[in-house]
Amino acid sequence: MLTIGSLQLRHPFILAPMSGVSDQPFRLLNRRFGCELTFVEMINARSLGYKSKKTKRLISTVPSDRPIGVQLLGSEAQYIERGLDILEAYSFDILDFNAACPERKVTRRGEGAALMKDTRKLRDLLKLVKERVRVPVTVKIRSGWDEKSINARDAALHAQEAGIDALFIHGRTKTQLYTGEVDYDVIREVKKALSIPVIGSGDVFTGPLAKKMFDETGCDAVLVARGSFGNPWIFEELGEYLKKGVIPKFPDREEIARVMEEHLAANVAFYGERMGVVIFRKFFTWYVKGFRKTRFLKEKSSHAKTLPVMQAIIEEFRGSRLYI
Ligand SMILES: Cc1cc2nc3c(=O)[nH]c(=O)nc-3n(C[C@H](O)[C@H](O)[C@H](O)COP(=O)(O)O)c2cc1C
């Protein structure tokens, strides 16, 4: 059991917030495979004020898509306050504050991972969020800005001082982006220093890698990010492996094709045909990754615009055992 403020979770595996990926169809699919808590895509406090259709679609949810977290990005108190006022109209179960995003367009405004350079400011912003929000508040940090400034412990202690309910830490620096080794030591140091739950992030791609994260850091839960790409089965694998030490058999083409059809149909129902298919393209390449002779299918899928065309590509994948 994992407790984050007033929220209780049965499983210590959480689907990470991922911009461009964690939309409603994707979240619901992962829940079907055992994922309990998910996050919507990161939302900039400033853009919340524009009340665009896109932002509304990003935050809106359905009862089967709970518990759910919203992740806010910002660095200026006035925009954050206004963003929180707007968020009051929506239902969600956790508010996570982003101090981890490494994108230049974000950090140059002092947002995301740039806050790792000013952990007192991070603390003050978190205090402000905590005072105004009724649901549990969390923060997501990185190990530091670069290898010369690994300061996650300091950032985490400042965050805890602000009264937050749990902390997510991606064990890489801002300059590492998503490559290079995960720094398990720094996550362990943070876990040791804090009394609130610490959730580790980085390379949770398999049951054994999740176990490694737990064993080497002592963290309370893990965040699944790229490991979920084309692989909602990962949530079953983590459950099985941590309970019994067994890795379940990887799904065959037939099962993958069935899940792709389900995902594609959900996308079309949510976004409409053309947009649903276009958004599905990247998921298709993730689902078929590792299978031989799929290069031509990936190429075809990158031009698909209609449901029948994408369905035919999935059908070809299902039957293409013949080519191996
Ligand atoms: C496509 C993509 C989008 C991401 N978007 C976000 C985001 O919006 N907010 C966030 O805190 N982290 C984001 N992340 C980082 C992940 O949550 C996670 O911390 C990171 O990918 C490390 O985990 P992994 O090695 O298991 O992928 C994103 C990662 C990817 C790959």
In the chain, the percentage of residues whose pLDDT exceeds 70 is: 98
User: What does pTM read for this prediction?
Assistant: 0.96
Check which CATH number belongs to the domain holding 100 and give it.
Answer: 3.20.20.70
Give the total number of structural domains in the chain.
Answer: 2
- The answer to whether residues 45 and 106 belong to one domain is yes
- The answer to whether residues 193 and 224 belong to one domain is yes
Q: Which of 244, 262, 297 is the last residue of a domain?
A: 244
Supply the pLDDT for residue 118.
97
First to last CA, the chain: 44
Check which CATH number belongs to the domain holding 288 and give it.
Answer: 1.10.1200.80
Give the residue, out of 18, 173, 201, 238, with the most ligand 1 atoms within 8 A of its beta carbon, to mutate for a pocket test: 18
Mode of pairing for the β-strands spanning 94-99 and 68-73: parallel
Supply the pLDDT for residue 136.
98
For the chain, the C-alpha Rg in angstroms (whole number) is 20
**Is pLDDT of 322 > 80?**
no
Give the distance (Å) from ligand 1 centre to CA of residue 211.
19
Model pLDDT for residues 286-305, shown as the tens digit of each residue: 999 999 889 999 999 999 99
Which residues sit with their C-beta closer than 6 Å to ligand 1? 16-21, 41-42, 71, 98, 100-101, 140, 170, 178, 201-204, 223, 225-227
The residue whose C-alpha atom lies closest to atom 7 belonging to ligand 1 is: 18
Q: Whole domain around residue 42: which residue ranges? A: 2-244
Supply the pLDDT for residue 158.
98
- The answer to whether residues 146 and 277 belong to one domain is no
Integer Cα distance of 46 and 53 in angstroms: 15
Q: Give the position, in ligand 1's atom list, of the atom nearest the Cα of 21.
A: 1
Supply the pLDDT for residue 155.
98
- The answer to whether residues 237 and 258 belong to one domain is no
- The answer to whether residues 153 and 35 belong to one domain is yes
Rounded (10°) angle between helices 119-132 and 77-87: 30
pLDDT band at 48 (very low <50, low <70, confident <90, very high): confident
Q: Give the position, in ligand 1's atom list, of the atom nearest the Cα of 100.
A: 11
pLDDT band at 323 (very low <50, low <70, confident <90, very high): very low
The residue whose C-alpha atom lies closest to atom 15 belonging to ligand 1 is: 18
Identify any residues that bridge with 170 across adjacent strands, giving them in sequence order.
142, 201
- The answer to whether residues 27 and 149 belong to one domain is yes
- The answer to whether residues 50 and 189 belong to one domain is yes
Supply the pLDDT for residue 320.
59
Give the distance (Å) from ligand 1 centre to CA of residue 18.
5
Q: Which of 210, 244, 278 is the last residue of a domain?
A: 244
